[in-house]
Amino acid sequence: MNLGFSLYPDQHSLEEMTAYVKRLMQHPFKRVFLSLLQMDVHDDAMMEKYQAIIQLCKSKQLLVIADINQSLIDQLGWNGLLVDKARAFGLD
């Protein structure tokens, strides 16, 4: 069984999420879900926050799964290279 949990970077500080991930790693979680729909791709601080939490999760060997939509794909310029760009962003 692959248990997972969700993170909401737009609602919590990086410090809160880091502590949460570390606490949950005491249990057999294998994946984490993030919604990228509320991410503002023009907000550098927000983009860095998402990247930091994704990298933390990857360092804990968690699969990172995300909710995206066509609007976000367009904003990020991922059209045509969705899988490659998503993987480069840290998504599984």
CB atoms within 10 A of CB 54: 21
Phi, psi of 6 (to 5 degrees): -110, 150
Query: pLDDT digits over 52-63, tens only?
Result: 999 999 999 999
Please tell me the predicted confidence (pLDDT) of residue 86.
Answer: 95
Please tell me the predicted confidence (pLDDT) of residue 10.
Answer: 86
User: Which regions in the chain score pLDDT beneath 70?
Assistant: none
Please give the mean pLDDT across all residues of the chain. 93
Longest C-alpha distance within the chain, in Å? 39
Long-range contact list for 21-27, CB < 8 A, 24+ apart?
Answer: 21/53, 21/56, 21/57, 21/60, 21/62, 25/60, 27/3
